Amino acid sequence: MIKVDQEGCIGCGLCANMHPEIFAMNADGKSEVVDENGDHEAAQEAAAACPVNVISVE
Ligand code: SF4
């Protein structure tokens, strides 16, 4: 399950740029998971790149 803690998201857009098949920016400018069962390797890559570490993959 791929999740974003939206409270901590600073809206940099990195995850959605890297993997738009998994993440999208919502109307509040926060990242939203569009495929919570998406590719875990891709999600881990985005999680590692997230500047505030709010993406979790389990
Ligand atoms: S990389 Fe992190 S801070 Fe940036 S939009 Fe994605 S979840 Fe938010």
- Return the amino acid letter for 29: G
CATH of the domain at 46: 3.30.70.20
pTM above 0.85, yes or no: yes
Q: Please state the three-class secondary structure of the chain as a single string.
A: CEEECCCCCCCCCHHHHHCCCCEEECCCCCEEECCCCCCHHHHHHHHHHCCCCCEEEC
Question: What is the tens place of the pLDDT at every residue in 24-38?
Answer: 999 999 999 999 999
Testing ligand 1's pocket by substitution, the residue of 14, 23, 36 carrying the most ligand atoms inside 8 A of its CB is 14
Handedness of CA 36, 24, 43, 11 (dihedral sign): negative
How far does the centroid of ligand 1 lie from the alpha carbon of residue 31, in Å?
6
**Number of domains composing the chain:** 1
Q: Are 18 and 54 in contact (CB under 8 A)?
A: no
Band of pLDDT at residue 23, cut at 50, 70 and 90: very high
How far does the centroid of ligand 1 lie from the alpha carbon of residue 49, in Å?
8
pLDDT at 20: 98
Domain coverage including residue 53: 2-57
How far does the centroid of ligand 1 lie from the alpha carbon of residue 53, in Å?
8
